[in-house]
């Protein structure tokens, strides 16, 4: 196959996946209240998303996955977010955790996880509490507790951050331990106002052995030392760790911001501006200004995200690990773009009148879900702007996650 044909095939596959995701939008919008009420994505919807291949975006092709690039990852999951933020949070986190398995772990572990061609992985990098003991051939997690296990209700595997200790119990590194969900207890504690359906419950582990082959070093991974053994041509699995983990979280906010604009414009022809002479909100100059500003913020966010995605893909294809400055800039792009998404949604909400607080108002659900999504610690704008500003000023970074 020529390179031109290969590129054409990848483009066609990407377009098909985005189309499949878009087809779920009406169904997910109709299920919005149910999703919030039951605090999870209905199993029938999970299975439909799975059958459409939308949970195996990052699974290697050798295991039946799509192995998409980062731009396609974002396009697909943001389409799902146009339908429902919680559903997109589940697909986004599941797909990126599958990417962690395919990137950080050796081929025999990938075979164990992806061998049946139907794997879903959840993950939490930082434990709230974790006591680990080094034993022959691996580690025993005597007790571990992790918050925000998004997608865990629908996962078969969990990637959980643990301290890596020596025989004397001294912490020598931070690791990611891969466990089957049968070894993990899901706590029913996800009671929230936003992203209610993401099922981001806490996870608990007691006295579970994890073999060495299912523990990866996070510090090595942050420098591009992956165990996966994928060839240079399999660029996705040479992408920089922290930039990927940060940028993919923009998929839900981008989709929700686009949905907010769509829903606002759909309702606009039948609205007036209460207590004014404007019998048509669509004809009012103030509406034109606000809508244009919201639309430009969404477009600007997308430009930042696409720049970062293309940089991640380009560096990965080059065979070189993304340098420190660009990794920090991708975190900045992520934080800045998420701010723009939230500001766009907030503008549209402020122009939606008192009906915004109605329980069945889709825009109200978007606001609740977006507020949760845009507050994720890895993409908080102030943290990421400070990080990038410190580096530009020649100072040490304020985090190791770069």
Q: Are 248 and 74 in contact (CB under 8 A)?
A: yes
Query: Model pTM greater than 0.85?
Result: yes
Same domain, 334 and 189: no
Q: At what angle do helices 251-267 and 85-104 cross, to 10 degrees?
A: 160
Residue 175 inside a domain? The answer is yes
Across the range 144-162, mean pLDDT stands at 97
**pLDDT score recorded for residue 248:** 98
Residue 1's pLDDT band (cuts 50, 70, 90): low
Same domain, 199 and 314: no
Domain count, the chain: 3
Residue 49 has pLDDT above 70, yes or no: yes
Same domain, 276 and 140: no
Same domain, 83 and 218: no
Same domain, 187 and 292: no
Residue 402 inside a domain? The answer is no
Across 229-261, b (16+ Cβ under 10 Å) vs e yields ebeeebbbbbbbbbbbbbbbbbbbbbbbbbbbb
Q: What is the CATH number of the domain that holds 87?
A: 1.10.540.10
Same domain, 10 and 106: yes
Residue 233 inside a domain? The answer is no
- What's the Cα-to-Cα distance from 197 to each of 39, 42, 239, 372, rounded to whole Å? 4, 9, 30, 12
Same domain, 283 and 255: yes
pLDDT in tens, 113-135: 999 877 999 999 999 999 999 99
Least-confidence region, from 179-188, 249-258, 264-273, 302-311: 264-273
What is the domain range of residue 172? 121-222
pLDDT in tens, 78-107: 999 999 999 999 999 999 999 999 999 999
**pLDDT score recorded for residue 282:** 87
């Amino acid at each position: 196959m020529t390179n031109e044909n290969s590129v054409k095939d990848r483009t066609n596959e990407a377009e098909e996946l985005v189309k499949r995701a878009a087809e779920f939008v009406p169904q997910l919008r109709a299920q919005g209240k149910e999703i919030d009420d039951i605090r999870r994505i209905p199993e029938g919807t999970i299975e439909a998303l799975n059958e459409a291949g939308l949970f195996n975006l990052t699974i290697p092709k050798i295991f039946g996955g799509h192995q998409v690039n980062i731009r396609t990852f974002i396009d697909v999951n943001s389409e799902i977010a146009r339908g429902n933020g919680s559903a997109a949070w589940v697909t986004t986190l599941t797909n990126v955790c599958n990417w962690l398995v395919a990137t950080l772990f050796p081929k025999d572990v990938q075979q164990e996880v992806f061998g049946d061609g139907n794997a879903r992985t959840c993950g939490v990098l930082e434990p709230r509490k974790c006591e680990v003991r080094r034993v022959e051939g691996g580690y025993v997690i005597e007790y571990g507790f992790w918050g925000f296990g998004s997608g865990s209700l629908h996962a078969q595997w969990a990637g959980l951050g643990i301290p890596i200790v020596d025989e004397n119990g001294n912490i020598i590194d931070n690791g990611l331990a891969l466990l089957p969900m049968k070894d993990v207890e899901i706590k029913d504690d996800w009671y929230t106002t936003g992203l209610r359906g993401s099922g981001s419950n806490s996870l608990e582990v007691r006295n579970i052995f994890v073999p060495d082959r299912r523990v990866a070093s996070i510090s090595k991974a942050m420098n591009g030392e992956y165990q996966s053994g994928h060839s240079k041509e399999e660029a996705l699995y040479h992408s920089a760790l922290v930039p990927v983990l940060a940028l993919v979280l923009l998929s839900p906010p981008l989709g929700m911001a686009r949905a907010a604009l769509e829903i606002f414009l759909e309702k606009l022809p039948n609205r007036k501006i209460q207590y004014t002479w404007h019998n048509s909100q669509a004809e009012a100059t103030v509406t034109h200004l606000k809508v244009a500003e919201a639309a430009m913020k969404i477009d600007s966010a997308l430009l930042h995200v696409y720049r970062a995605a293309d940089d991640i893909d380009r560096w990965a294809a080059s065979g070189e690990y993304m340098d420190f400055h660009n990794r920090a800039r991708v975190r900045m792009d992520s934080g800045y773009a998420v701010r723009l998404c939230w500001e766009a949604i907030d503008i549209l909400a402020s122009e939606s009148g008192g009906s915004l607080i109605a329980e069945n108002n889709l825009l109200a659900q978007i606001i609740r879900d977006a507020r949760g999504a845009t507050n994720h610690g890895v993409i908080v704008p102030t943290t990421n702007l400070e990080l990038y500003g410190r580096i530009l000023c020649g100072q040490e970074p304020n985090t190791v996650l770069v």
